[in-house]
Amino acid sequence: MKTALLIHHVAFEDAGSLEPELLRAGYNIERCDAATANLGWIDALAWDLVVLLGGPIGVYEQHDFPFLTEELALLRKRLAAQRPTLGICLGSQLMAAALGARVYPGNEGQEIGWKPLQSTAHSADCPAMNHLLSPAVPVLHWHGDTFDLPAGARHLAMTEQYAHQAFGIGNWALGVQFHPEVTAQGLERWYVGHASELAHAGINVSGLRQTSQLHAPALTQAAERFWRDWLAALPG
């Protein structure tokens, strides 16, 4: 049986719609809490797939969150070996940093809410991405940081506010700044966990919930096809 390691940074930002597709594809799932695990003891190459999930901290905050240093070391080893790796939001930023790219607070403010992705000249290099590149399928954005495109990576998706929304390397590495994994029900935990951030950003929870209930079902359907195609294309 194939194995997948899910690295969490906060409990409520879970794998969402990705988890049932991992099970469907035959993966045995193991979980790791990045903040409390001894990441230095984890064998970076032991799993068929490693998934790094989101969280409300920055890659550059290693002084305050020392586990990030060990997480980056794990990622560097895994990516150097070209082992299948997926990063979502903070996970994508960690991947970019491990690949030598700069991660930093974005100049265009926080991008929180639902909007469609736009294609790039290289979107077709990742056929699975086509399921999410539709004006009829807005995706959830929830970040304030951004990153430069890592050397050798293909630029797969963008928005007007932040260009680097997704990148891929070969058929084994994918980083997505947006959140394809979210569901309407799962987001109820986000509204509680990120209540202070939403208040600081002047975003009304009731309004965001209403928009999420409108758009999340279409994203869940599109993400199911996206996950299936991407997982099926992984090496091995």
Threshold 0.95, pTM exceeds? yes
Residue 181 backbone phi and psi in degrees, to 5: -85, -15
Q: Residue 236 above 90 pLDDT?
A: no
C-alpha separations of 65 from 58, 126, 130, 142 in Å: 9, 33, 36, 20
pLDDT tens-digit series, residues 50-93: 999 999 999 999 999 999 999 999 999 999 999 999 999 999 99
Short-list 49, 66, 48, CA closest to 57:
66
Q: Name the average pLDDT for the chain.
A: 97
CATH number at residue 170: 3.40.50.880
pLDDT tens-digit series, residues 98-156: 999 999 999 999 999 999 999 999 999 999 999 999 999 999 999 999 999 999 999 99
How many structural domains comprise the chain?
Answer: 1
pLDDT tens-digit series, residues 199-229: 999 999 999 999 999 999 999 999 999 999 9
- Say which amino acid occupies 25: A
What is the pLDDT averaged over residues 195-200? 97
Residues spanned by the domain of 138? 2-232
Burial class of residue 89 in the structure, from the number of CB atoms within 10 Å of its CB (0-12 exposed, 13-18 middle, 19+ buried): buried
